[in-house]
Amino acid sequence: MFQLHNDDKMKTVKVNFVDFHSDFDKNNDFLDILKTRYNVEISDEPDYLFYSVFGTKHLKYRECIRIFYTGECLTPDFNECDYAIGFDRLVFGDRYLRYPLYALFQYKNAYNAILDRTPITQEELAAKTEFCSFVVSNGFAQEARAKFFELLSEYKKVNSGGRFRNNIGGAIIDKQSFQVKHKFSLAFENNSYQGYITEKIGEAFASRTIPIYWGDPTICKDFNDEAFVNVHNYASFADVIERIKELDNDDEKYLSVVNAPIIKNQISRQALEQFLFNIFDQEKVSAQRRPLSKNQIEFEKMQLRHRFFEDKIYTPYRRFKSLVSQLRNGTIISKKRTE
């Protein structure tokens, strides 16, 4: 256990983070907010547990308040968590806050840059020497992303700078400096799901390009779709490509789109603060929301028993099967790097 902040006048809260991605930093936005109001201790015996989708360790913590966070396309299970932060456009009393990934962690820098972005000039447009960028390292996605990449590449070369479908000699190191050279950026999510918007479109906007977006069919609730090419507004991929050609060949039309207002509904940091303060200001017993029924407890025990099979048998099998599939269809992910 270690203490992150110490003020005798402030309430002490014990927290921990489990089942996050392997490179997740426990010094994060959630802690930054909590430290403004409480003495915060990272503890193996927490009163409040933040957890995500990469494991089932959270099921071992039955006595604490569970707060679920997802940056993946997954709807919270409110039988497992007391509170949740995610993508879904839903309302569930004080138990849920929609706070997309693009406004959190390292990705909030791009989002904040959008808020203060200056107009793109004719001179800046003329300096964009490349057509369209594509930066993806995750080959596990709905086929729409790879299919559109192939179709658009029939018009002009789409520079793929990620490890997936890389065609520039290796994966890029700095995404923004790569994207800014291009007029357009492919910003396709892994999945199409209402509310699910990751960092992809925000980083494209921050790189001063026109995003070509596919993913959330309701994205126009967050972003002004006059400022980008919203694939969901077209009947076919062919129609989308015709619109891209139109903008690519008409500087006046291009500038009118790239300089249109971007944000439709600004994500408020204050909303996240209020959500967390509501949880932590309460006594622990009062903050509990999830059902602690016998059925739910037994179901969680069963999930933990099945974890051994998942970790030791199924996961290695799935990785091997994935590798074979990539070799067969020619989508093996490159590990090369390039400046």
Tell me the pLDDT tens digit for each residue of 175-218. 999 999 999 999 999 999 999 999 999 999 999 999 999 999 99
Residues with Cβ within 8 Å of 172's Cβ and at least 6 positions away in sequence, in order, are 135, 161, 162, 178, 337, 338, 339
pLDDT of 7 strictly over 80? no
pLDDT of 55 strictly over 70? yes
User: Measured between alpha carbons, how far is residue 238 from residues 92, 194, 242 in Å?
Assistant: 40, 23, 6
- CATH among 3.40.50.1100, 3.40.50.11650, 1.10.287.610, 3.20.20.30 for 2-99+269-291: 3.40.50.11650
Enter the pTM of the model: 0.87
Name the β-bridge partners of 67: 50, 83
Q: How many whole angstroms separate alpha carbon 89 and alpha carbon 265?
A: 13
Q: How many whole angstroms separate alpha carbon 118 and alpha carbon 137?
A: 30
Please report which confidence band the pLDDT of residue 137 belongs to, taking 50, 70 and 90 as the band edges: confident
Helices (H), 84-231: 108-115, 122-127, 144-153, 175-179, 200-206
CATH superfamily entry for domain 119-258: Glycosyl transferase family 10, C-terminal domain (3.40.50.11660)
pLDDT of 259 strictly over 70? yes
Q: Which range is least confidently modeled, 42-46, 96-100, 139-143, 145-149?
A: 139-143
Q: Which amino acid is at 49?
A: L
User: Where in the chain is CATH 3.40.50.11650?
Assistant: 2-99+269-291
pLDDT of 339 strictly over 70? no
Q: Are strands 38-42 and 2-3 parallel, antiparallel or unpaired?
A: antiparallel
pLDDT of 334 strictly over 70? no
Phi-psi region of 308 (alpha: psi -120 to 50; beta: other; left: phi over 0): alpha
Q: Which range is least confidently modeled, 116-130, 145-159, 284-298?
A: 284-298
User: Where in the chain is CATH 3.40.50.11660?
Assistant: 119-258
Cα torsion angle, 256, 109, 265, 198, sign: positive
The share of the chain scoring above pLDDT 90, in percent, equals 80
CA 280, distance to chain mean position in Å, is 25
Residue 135: what pLDDT?
96
DSSP state of 334: P
Please report which confidence band the pLDDT of residue 321 belongs to, taking 50, 70 and 90 as the band edges: confident
Q: How many whole angstroms separate alpha carbon 91 and alpha carbon 76?
A: 12
Residue 1: what pLDDT?
57
The share of the chain scoring above pLDDT 70, in percent, equals 94
pLDDT of 320 strictly over 90? no
Residue 54: what pLDDT?
93
Q: For residues 254-278, give the mean pLDDT.
A: 97
Tens digits of residue pLDDT in 66-97: 999 999 999 999 999 999 999 999 999 999 99
Q: Are strands 210-214 and 182-188 parallel, antiparallel or unpaired?
A: parallel
| Pair of tokens at residue 75 | 């709807």
| Pair of tokens at residue 77 | 């299970």
Report yes or no: 37 and 4 within 8 Å, Cβ to Cβ.
Answer: no
pLDDT of 250 strictly over 90? yes
User: Measured between alpha carbons, how far is residue 191 from residues 37, 54, 74, 196 in Å?
Assistant: 37, 18, 11, 8
Q: Judging by beta carbons within 10 Å of its beta carbon (0-12, 13-18, 19+), is residue 236 exposed, middle or buried?
A: exposed
Instruction: Say how many Å lie between the first and final Cα of the chain, rounded.
Output: 41
Please report which confidence band the pLDDT of residue 322 belongs to, taking 50, 70 and 90 as the band edges: confident
Please report which confidence band the pLDDT of residue 130 belongs to, taking 50, 70 and 90 as the band edges: very high
Q: For residues 159-180, give the mean pLDDT.
A: 94
User: Measured between alpha carbons, how far is residue 216 from residues 80, 178, 196, 198, 304 in Å?
Assistant: 26, 25, 5, 10, 33
Residue 295: what pLDDT?
86
- Angle, helices 237-248/251-258, rounded to nearest 10 degrees: 110
pLDDT of 338 strictly over 70? no
Please report which confidence band the pLDDT of residue 318 belongs to, taking 50, 70 and 90 as the band edges: confident
How many CB atoms neighbour CB 164 within 10 A?
A: 23
pLDDT of 275 strictly over 80? yes
What's the maximum distance between 2 C-alpha atoms anywhere in the chain? Answer: 67
Please report which confidence band the pLDDT of residue 336 belongs to, taking 50, 70 and 90 as the band edges: low
Q: For residues 27-31, give the mean pLDDT.
A: 96
